[in-house]
A = this chain, B = another copy of it.
Amino acid sequence: MTIEQKINAVGRMVPTTINGVKAIPFKGIGKYKPHGKKHAPYISSCVDFNSDGNKLVESLSEALKKCGLKDGMTISTHHHFRNGDLLANEIFDIAKKMGIKNLRWFPSASFPCHEHLIQYLEDGTISHIEGSMNGVLGKFCSEGKMKKTAILRSHGGRYQAVQDGEVIIDIAVIGAGCADSFGNANGLYGPSASGLLGFALADSEYADKVIVVTDNMVPFPCVPWQIQGNNVDFTVKVDKIGIPEKIVSGTTQITKSPDRLLIAEMTAKFCEEAGLIKDGFSFQAGAGGTALSIGNFFADIMRRKGIKARFARGGSNKYLVDALEEGLIQYILDGQTFDLEGVRSMRVNSNHTWTSPFTSYNYHGKGNFAGMVDIAILGATEVDVNFNANVVTHSDGYLLHGIGGWQNCLFSKTVILPVPLFRDRIPVVKDEVTTICGPGELIDVIVTERGIAINPLRKDLIDILKDSKLPIKTIKELKVEAETICGPMEKMRISEEVVAAIKWVDGTVIDVVRKVIHKV
């Protein structure tokens, strides 16, 4: 059967049906408006729960059985434990033992530690993954080995899909660093502390059945309740839920690469010259080496100017925490903590506030936080001459990364992508990106070690920077420079077969990933 495909608003050919469900091609930013009502979960009753609040069952296996685990269900998990997660693998080990088939796995993200699950994708225990695939599972998907089409969403898009009933979760399994037997849970305490549990919020609110699993059960009340026990059906105590050193790093490190440091410094200078760094401003940077370094440069500028940021968005880390404690930043609005200092700060400092994809990123809410951020510093695997950018595939066509909050952050007031001009002699700036994850009209500035390109739509920035000594170039100049240095590229070898769809923040399909023809 041939599935109808249509060209969407960024010129990509996308299917109008995915896994048998109607899909809407991307219509342009703000052009698609949702209709109808949010997903309505079943009404529960206290009659069905112990009045003393104890929801503890013997094992994860028992909890899954009590939730009625059966063929074809949708099981959600979360990536708070990142590459140290032990829970997702265990869930599907249990499903396999029970002989369950055709499960849709709906993680907020998957990591190399989930390579274990390839066997279940192969034997049909899991039909497919809807969620970010970092590394090996992405490679598996890229090679067309998954039985159905993967769907990738941003953090906000995942909340939106659950809220809107696009994805109905049968069973949500929420791993928590700390919980009580009622199901109140947080990620702040215990050996598997991860900081916060925001990625599981939608699941706790909308899933039919919710299981909280912890290796650190405390007496009621588990305070704060980042996940509310009132939404939880069963709780499980296990010996070990994650590998601490892979959940949060002991410390995050700023880059030592001279090229990356140069990019970071140029980015900070650009922001200063553009007048973006002023009293009460706000910014979001990631926890990569370059982003951390930019945060440090921002701090230097703030000290020098004697100004404060009203807030910084996390991923938090020790550098951001230092700035908070120094008083350079008034609030950290944190979506995930990347190191132990972030976790500590969130525990003790009420100005280090946990957020969720609902507050920060849900496009089908009454606004969200993303648009209030003055400067968003984001990454990309590729950028094209129209400022479209890619974060999920490499230039060889392999899907190796998730979207994270990247698409959502594009709504910030000024979006800057500090990227190297090329990586391993492969250009980052090119004529056309392999996969469009974000439309160029939302991306304002590209900073590379060899020049800075400002989106022509941002006439204001071009005007302010017109006398700058920074190496302002056009994006096409950057592209030519990259091509000249790298020389002719091998053409990527892909087939027509769609293996994954990339959703935009409103649930429409902005692009697809097609099967890579494996090099022999």
Listed in ascending order, the chain A residues whose CB lies under 8 Å from chain B are 30, 33-53, 55, 163-164, 182-183, 210, 219-221, 223-225, 228-233, 280, 310-311, 331, 333, 350-351, 353, 358-359, 362-369, 371-372, 411, 413, 506
Contacts and interface: CB of A to CB of B under 8 A. Distances in A.
Nearest to A38: B40
Nearest to A183: B366
Contacts of A164: 43
B182 A221 contact: no
A366 B44 contact: yes
A364 B44 contact: yes
Contacts of A372: 52-53, 182, 220
A221 B331 contact: yes
Given A230-B359, A369-B53, A36 B44 contact: no
A52 B45 CA distance: 40
A231 B350 contact: no
Nearest to A229: B367
Contacts of A182: 367, 372
The residue among A49, A350, A371 with the most chain B CB atoms within 10 A of its own CB is A371
Given A224-B353, A411-B51, A365 B38 contact: no
A59 B466 CA distance: 43
A213 to B, nearest CB: 16
Which 5 pairs, one residue from A and one from B, show the smallest C-beta to C-beta distance?
A: A51-B371, A40-B40, A37-B40, A49-B367, A230-B365
Nearest to A219: B310
B36 A219 contact: no
B33 A230 contact: no
A50 B370 CA distance: 12
B41 A366 contact: no
A44 B164 CA distance: 10
A203 to B, nearest CB: 14
Given A40-B38, A371-B51, A365 B223 contact: no
Contacts of A223: 331, 350-351, 353
Given A30-B47, A506-B45, A219 B365 contact: no
A43 B364 contact: yes
Contacts of A30: 46-47
The residue among A46, A223, A310, A371 with the most chain B CB atoms within 10 A of its own CB is A46
Contacts of A49: 366-367
Contact of A38 (B41, B53, B229, B359): B41
Contacts of A50: 367, 371
Contacts of A228: 358-359
A44 B230 contact: no
Given A220-B310, A220-B372, A506-B45, A365 B231 contact: yes
B232 A366 contact: yes
A50 B367 CA distance: 7
A364 B46 contact: yes
Contacts of A368: 46, 230
A110 B232 CA distance: 33
Given A49-B366, A230-B365, 12 more contacts: A36-B43, A38-B42, A46-B364, A46-B365, A46-B371, A53-B371, A182-B372, A210-B366, A220-B310, A221-B369, A230-B362, A230-B368
Contacts of A506: 45
24 contacts: A33-B47, A34-B44, A37-B42, A37-B43, A38-B40, A39-B40, A45-B506, A46-B363, A46-B367, A46-B368, A53-B371, A53-B372, A55-B367, A183-B366, A220-B311, A221-B310, A223-B351, A228-B359, A229-B366, A229-B367, A230-B358, A230-B362, A230-B365, A230-B366
Contact of A364 (B45, B362, B366): B45
A407 to B, nearest CB: 12
The residue among A333, A368, A411 with the most chain B CB atoms within 10 A of its own CB is A368
